Structure 1
Amino acid sequence: MLQQHLSQWQASPDLVRIFTQEELDKATNKYDDSAVVGKGGFGTVYKGVLDDGSVLAIKKSKLVDQSQTDQFINEVIVLSQINHRNVVKLLGCCLETEVPLLVYEFISNGTLYEYVHDKTNGRNFLSWEARLRIAAETAGVISYLHSSASTPIIHRDIKTTNILLDHNYTAKVSDFGASKLVPMDQTQLSTMVQGTLGYLDPEYLLTSELTDKSDVYSFGIVLLELITGKKAVSFEGPEAERNLAMYVMCAMKEDRLEEVVEKGMATNANIQQIKEAAKLATTCLRIKGEERPSMKEVAMELEGLRGLNEANEKLESKGETMVGYWVQSDGALQSSSNQFSASGSTNIVDDSMKVHILPLIHDGR
């Protein structure tokens, strides 16, 4: 079945290495608990070491059913279409076991979620500069999936737990089990709604029409997480903070964004840059997908902010600043404040949408 699907999407079966059950049993010490590096609804990820010293991550599905087999095949097909330095590389799979096994390169520093939300694990605090770089790298990957992959791909589950960090804190996007390949003659797909609470595009949720703008929405939430240090949805704090998008939008409307920026991250030098990133995030969260920017535009905007960061550092050494602007290729300065407007008729959540979306959030769905 796998070979049949690979040929359908014109991917060579040789791209996927077939590991033996014996190899992977030995690499993980028969899937010993000490080899577990992650768990989720899909199953468990184990760290494995081959005889030649190669370190692997082995994803073992939880159940034996058709949906798991479909996701297994889907992920192999999708990853066979991708060649990008910021995507976790699929090394192969094992077809001898009762449940599907996928084998990836091992990414040593865990997930972005752990760095942003798990304050008890002793991990290093990520500076704004590091967060902005990670956001730009992730946006670049999604832009590549939408525009440059051999067949356009909608990831469909962009979130901080699916962004891994390597030893240099470089972003690596993972988990393509729910992703969709988009035939060249289509711009949207009708599909069963699938995703994660808090990251789901409300337009997709209501219409079941999946487009690349659904990934844009999810990325907007990730960007707000990086800015605030808060989860996409949280039932622990006050009700006003339950939904991150609404919480930040309200703060921006009342001109108090600085209050919701993660403590210890903002400085006089970077606060304007953080505000520009927050504005960009709100454009990603517009209710109508057609009013959101493309991921290519988002990636360019973030790279522009990173360039501004470097320019600011040089000017600071001379006692000057250049926040709110960036240098264009012709050397001219352009104000970034009018790149994407976060006001007017495109508020991320209007009253009619609240009627549909809020009950789902409050019910935990």
Structure 2
Amino acid sequence: LKGIELQTGSFTLRQIKDATNNFDAANKIGEGGFGPVYKGILADGKEIAVKQLSARSKQGNREFVTEIGMISALQHPHLVKLYGCCIEGNQLMLIYEYLENNSLARALFGPEEFQLTLDWPTRRKICIGIARGLAYLHEESRLKIVHRDIKATNVLLDKNLDPKISDFGLAKLDEEDNTHISTRIAGTYGYMAPEYAMHGRLTDKADVYSFGIVALEIVSGTCNTKHNRVKKESFYLLDVAHTLKQEGNLLDLIDPRVASHCNAGEAMVMVDVALLCTNPTAAARPSMSMVVSVLEGRASVSDILTDSSIYASKFDAKKLYGRVEGNDAENNSQVKSMLRDGQWTLASST
């Protein structure tokens, strides 16, 4: 973070206590990677989300300072905006914009009473927005950043249902002289690229893979991972997509809620892009800027095909993640619990 000036506001603990009614439990809206997240209202009426660092958090002060530095350097319509921070006594907090429509995960496949009606144009807009945000992180910002934990719970929706990527607590700075970062595994199984899940090898192409999974979820309206504890079976959306492609029935992947009024051509482009993004060979995955071009119709799917860009028909997501299904099932149940409780989640539940 050398040379980066923090363009963030400084809040006093008194301001934050007043805004959250002294961290009233009624204002708690989620549990993030750092700790609890509270909704608050500042004296000027502005709504905020306060991410409070938990003493028992897996993340510590170093990560906290890193997050402040990174997010303060980033300004983009599809990234959650950081208003400032509060560092007072033993209190460490980040103050974000508050987003009214919770997470993409809850909107698509949360409890029925919390689901939102997302028509096809809205889903396409959300998918393109996420892609734009990632393209900015990877290619356009002053810092080259790998998010590491792109998933539907880490995409928040504002009042206009525009998507914003959240939770940079897991993000890493990719220094210019490094082509990859070998680091501890910090993503979410089911969304993690094979080379990252198995070898801890991290590049921006790991985010591309995760985006591909989220794109499939947007088209299908179905969570990537499902677990049947009775039958002890797991379901991976990526495997289903490959099976349907081999059978020539990819249209069956479209969410029945939008199938009747969906632009089938646009949906197939999104699925084709998703399958290319989830290629098991990292180098064969497209850049996010190219993904944006294809999704917006300025380029075709064939433009991002390479010799190694074959649809990975032999890739078995269930087999890859099978050895960690126990952990994944636990993580998935935590997410489901959070969605069921109707909590607005600013950050990853893992």
Q: Contact between 1:190 and 1:209, CA under 8 Å: does it hold in 2?
A: yes
SS of 1:108 mapped into structure 2? coil
Aligned to 2:247: 254
Distance 2:172 2:313 in 1: 27
CA RMSD across the alignment: 2.6
Aligned to 1:54: 46
Cα distance change, pair 256–97 in 1 and its aligned pair in 2 (3 A): farther
Aligned to 1:102: 94
The amino acid of 1:118's aligned partner reads G
Cα distance change, pair 351–161 in 1 and its aligned pair in 2 (3 A): closer
Which of 266, 269, 272 is the equivalent residue of 1:273?
266
Aligned to 2:205: 213
Paired residues, number: 328
Distance 1:66 1:261 in 2: 38
Provide the identity percentage.
Answer: 33
Distance 1:355 1:123 in 2: 31
Cα distance change, pair 139–239 in 1 and its aligned pair in 2 (3 A): farther
Distance 1:28 1:87 in 2: 23
SS of 2:4 mapped into structure 1? coil
SS of 2:224 mapped into structure 1? coil
The amino acid of 1:338's aligned partner reads S
Listed one character per residue, the Cα deviations across residues 276-296 of structure 1 (whole Å, up to 9, x for unaligned) are 211110000000100101111
Distance 2:57 2:153 in 1: 24
Which of 129, 137, 146 is the equivalent residue of 1:137?
129
Relative contact order (alpha carbons < 8 A, sep ≥ 6): 1 or 2 greater?
A: 2
SS of 1:150 mapped into structure 2? coil
CA shift for structure 1 position 356 = 4.5
**Equivalent residues in 2 for 1:10-159 (5 A)?**
10-13=3-6, 15-64=7-56, 67-159=59-151
Distance 1:128 1:343 in 2: 32
Which has the larger displacement, 169-178 or 71-80? 71-80
SS of 1:164 mapped into structure 2? strand
Listed one character per residue, the Cα deviations across residues 51-100 of structure 1 (whole Å, up to 9, x for unaligned) are 12121110113334673223211211111221112111111111115342
Q: Contact between 2:27 and 2:39, CA under 8 Å: does it hold in 1?
A: yes
Q: Contact between 1:37 and 1:46, CA under 8 Å: does it hold in 2?
A: yes
SS of 2:142 mapped into structure 1? coil
The amino acid of 2:104's aligned partner reads L
TM-score normalised by the chain length of structure 1: 0.82
Cα distance change, pair 340–250 in 1 and its aligned pair in 2 (3 A): farther
Q: Contact between 2:180 and 2:201, CA under 8 Å: does it hold in 1?
A: yes
Cα distance change, pair 45–65 in 1 and its aligned pair in 2 (3 A): closer
CA shift for structure 1 position 351 = 5.9
- The 4+ residue runs of structure 1 with deviation greater than 4 A are 237-241, 340-345, 351-356
Distance 2:205 2:115 in 1: 33
Aligned to 1:323: none
Q: Contact between 1:158 and 1:218, CA under 8 Å: does it hold in 2?
A: yes
CA shift for structure 1 position 230 = 1.1
Aligned to 1:233: 225
SS of 1:265 mapped into structure 2? helix
Distance 1:202 1:68 in 2: 28
Cα distance change, pair 355–52 in 1 and its aligned pair in 2 (3 A): closer
CA shift for structure 1 position 264 = 2.4
Q: Contact between 1:94 and 1:100, CA under 8 Å: does it hold in 2?
A: yes
Cα distance change, pair 251–239 in 1 and its aligned pair in 2 (3 A): farther
Which of 153, 167, 174 is the equivalent residue of 1:175?
167
Cα distance change, pair 354–33 in 1 and its aligned pair in 2 (3 A): closer
**Equivalent residues in 2 for 1:194-343 (5 A)?**
194-236=186-228, 242-267=235-260, 270-304=263-297, 336=300, 338-340=302-304
Aligned to 2:344: none
Distance 1:353 1:270 in 2: 28
**Whose Rg is larger?**
1
Cα distance change, pair 62–236 in 1 and its aligned pair in 2 (3 A): farther
Q: Contact between 2:71 and 2:168, CA under 8 Å: does it hold in 1?
A: yes
CA shift for structure 1 position 122 = 4.3
